[in-house]
Amino acid sequence: MTLPTDPALHARRKAKERRFKTMSYAAILVAGVFLVFFFADILRQGLPALKQAEILVPIHFTQDILEYPESSLPPEYVPLVSRGVVRLFPNELHATPKLLGSTQERWVLATADVDQFLKGKPNRLKAKERRTAERLQSEGRLRLAWNIGFFTNGDSKLPEMAGVFAAAVGSVYVLLVTLAFSFPIGVMAAVYLEEFAPDNRLMQIIEVNINNLAAIPSILFGLLGLAIFIQFFGIPRSSSMVGGLTLGLMTLPVIIIATRAAIRAIPSAIREGAMALGATRWQVVWDHILPLALPGILTGTIIGLARAIGETAPLILVGMVAFIPQPAASFLEATSVLPAQIYTWASDSQRAFVERTAAGIVVLLVILLSMNALAIFLRTKYERKW
Amino acid sequence: MRGFCKVLLAAALFVASTGLAQARDQVKIVGSSTVFPFSSFVAEELGATGKFKTPVVESTGSGGGHKLFGAGMGENTPDIANSSRRMKRSEFERAEQNGVTDISEALIGFDGIVIAQNKDDAPLKLTLEQLALATIAEVPKDGKLVPNPYTSWDQISPDLPKRPIVIYGPPTSSGTRDAFEELVIEKVAHKLGSYEKGYKKVRQDSAYVPAGENDNLIVQKLAKDKNAVGIFGYSFLEENQDTIQAATIDGVTPSLDTIAQGTYPISRSLYFYVKNAHYDKIPGLKEYVELFMSERMIGDKGALKRIGLVPLPADVREKARQKVLNRVKLTKDELQ
Q: B217-241, pLDDT tens digit by residue?
A: 899 999 999 999 999 989 899 889 8
For residue B140, the SS3 value is strand
A287 with A143, same domain?
no
Q: Look over chain B and give the mean of its residue pLDDT values, rounded to a whole number.
A: 88
Between chains, do B45 and A122 touch, taking CB under 8 Å as contact? no
- 3-class DSSP state for residue B11? helix
A103-107's contacts with Cβ under 8 Å and 24+ in sequence apart are A103/A58, A103/A59, A103/A60, A103/A61, A104/A58, A104/A59, A104/A61, A105/A56, A105/A57, A105/A58, A105/A59, A106/A56, A106/A57, A106/A59, A107/A54, A107/A55, A107/A56, A107/A143, A107/A145
pLDDT in tens, A78-91: 899 999 999 889 88
Cβ–Cβ contact B173 with A under 8 A: no
A225 lies in the same domain as A122: no
Percent helix, strand, coil in chain A, to 5, is: 70, 5, 25
| A-chain residue closest to B11, CA distance | A181
Q: What is residue B5's predicted lDDT score, i.e. its pLDDT?
A: 46
Give the residue ranges of DSSP H helices in A144-266. Answer: 149-152, 165-191, 201-213, 218-225, 240-264
Q: Residues of B with CB below 8 A from A158's CB?
A: 44
- Contact of B237 with B254, CB cutoff 8 Å: yes
Distance from the Cα of B104 to chain A's closest Cα (Å) equals 23
CA distances to A153, A163, A329, B49, B127 from A333, in Å: 18, 19, 7, 21, 51
Q: How far apart are CA B95 and CA B99, in angstroms?
A: 6
Domain B23-110+270-334 fold is D-Maltodextrin-Binding Protein; domain 2 (3.40.190)
Q: How do the domains of chain B map onto residue ranges?
A: 23-110+270-334, 112-267
Which residue of A lies nearest to B8 if distances are taken between CA atoms?
A185
Question: Residues of B numbered 204-233 whose beta carbons fall under 8 angstroms of chain A's beta carbons: which are they?
Answer: 213-216, 233
Instruction: Provide the percentage of residues in chain B whose pLDDT is more than 70.
Output: 93
Q: Is B56 in Cβ contact with A234 (below 8 Å)?
A: no
Q: Is residue A129 within 8 Å of residue A101, measured between CB atoms?
A: no
Q: Would an 8 Å CB–CB cutoff place B40 in contact with chain A?
A: yes
Q: Look at residue B1 in the predicted model and tell me its pLDDT.
A: 39
Can you give the residue range of the structural domain that contains A114? 47-61+75-85+104-147
A158/B44 Cβ within 8 A? yes
Interface test with B, best of A70, A219, A347 (most B CBs within 10 A): A347
Judge if ipTM > 0.90. Answer: no
> Is the domain of A222 the same as that of A323?
yes
C-alpha A276 chain-centroid distance: 48
- Taking the CA of residue B34 and the nearest CA in chain A, the distance in Å comes to 10
pLDDT tens-digit series, residues B299-316 = 988 889 988 899 999 999
Q: How confident is the model at residue B21 (pLDDT cuts 50, 70, 90)?
A: very low
Question: Is A281 in the same domain as A218?
Answer: yes
The number of CA neighbours under 13 Å toward the Cβ of A180 is 17
Yes or no, beta carbons of A332 and B22 under 8 Å apart: yes
A117 shares a domain with A184:
no
Q: Which residues in B lie closer than 8 A to residue A84 (C-beta atoms)? A: 48
β-sheet bridge partners, residue B229: B117, B167
**Is the distance from CB of A114 to CB of A142 less than 8 angstroms?**
yes
Q: Is the pLDDT of residue B22 over 60?
A: no
Mean pLDDT, rounded, for A147-156: 93
Is the model's pLDDT at A301 over the cut of 60? Answer: yes
- Nearest in space to A11 (alpha carbons), one of A21, A22, A1, A19: A19
Fold type of domain B112-267? D-Maltodextrin-Binding Protein; domain 2 (3.40.190)
Total number of domains in chain A: 2
> Is there a contact between B76 and A346 if contact means CB atoms under 8 Å apart?
no
Q: Which of B18, B76, B216 sits opposite A346 (nearest CB)?
A: B216
In percent, how much of chain A has pLDDT > 70? 99
